């Protein structure tokens, strides 16, 4: 179902959907619009874990992102590469997080995003490196 028998590299609609959902998530994240950000997650039980936070519950996940936006108002993500896994369904996202600070800090980060069948985010794990 997910891969063409004749060409296993042909992207499927599920892979396209995962990429589109991740792209939309990062677009919304960059807008710092918490209401729209909440709409990218499942209704109740989303989780977020990174090197600073480990939160459960969609409202808490959105609030944690809001705290990031307050602490680093000019923060912005650039997507480098997306690696969809339709059997998850999940997607691994190589990103650059530009703090736009005086030091010109740019963090190399990998986000592992687990989604439901409607491409709403269930869990996001971010790894710095």
Domain ranges of the chain: 13-128
Which CATH architecture fits 13-128?
Roll (3.10)
Q: Is the pLDDT of residue 5 over 50?
A: no
Q: What pLDDT digit, counting tens, does each position of 35-94 carry?
A: 999 999 999 999 999 999 999 999 999 999 999 999 999 999 999 999 999 898 999 999
The pTM (predicted TM-score) of the whole model is 0.89
Residue of 99, 125, 104, 120 whose CA lies nearest to 45: 120
Q: Helices then strands (H, E): number in the chain?
A: 3, 6
Helix (H, G, I), strand (E, B) or coil at 8: coil
pLDDT score at 86:
87
Instruction: Compute CA distances 126 → 4, 5, 6, 13, 15, whole Å.
Output: 31, 33, 35, 25, 21
């Amino acid at each position: 179902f997910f891969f063409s028998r004749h060409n296993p590299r042909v992207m499927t609609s599920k892979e396209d959907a995962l990429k589109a959902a991740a792209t939309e998530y990062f677009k919304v994240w960059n807008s710092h619009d918490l209401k729209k950000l909440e709409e990218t997650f499942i209704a109740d039980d989303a989780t977020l874990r990174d090197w600073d936070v480990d939160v459960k519950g969609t409202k808490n996940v959105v609030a944690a992102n809001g705290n990031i936006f307050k602490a680093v108002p000019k923060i912005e993500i650039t997507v480098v590469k997306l690696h969809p896994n339709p059997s998850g369904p999940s997607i691994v996202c190589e990103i650059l997080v530009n703090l736009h600070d005086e030091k010109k800090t740019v963090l190399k980060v990998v986000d592992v995003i687990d989604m439901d069948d409607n491409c709403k985010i269930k869990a996001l794990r971010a790894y710095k490196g």
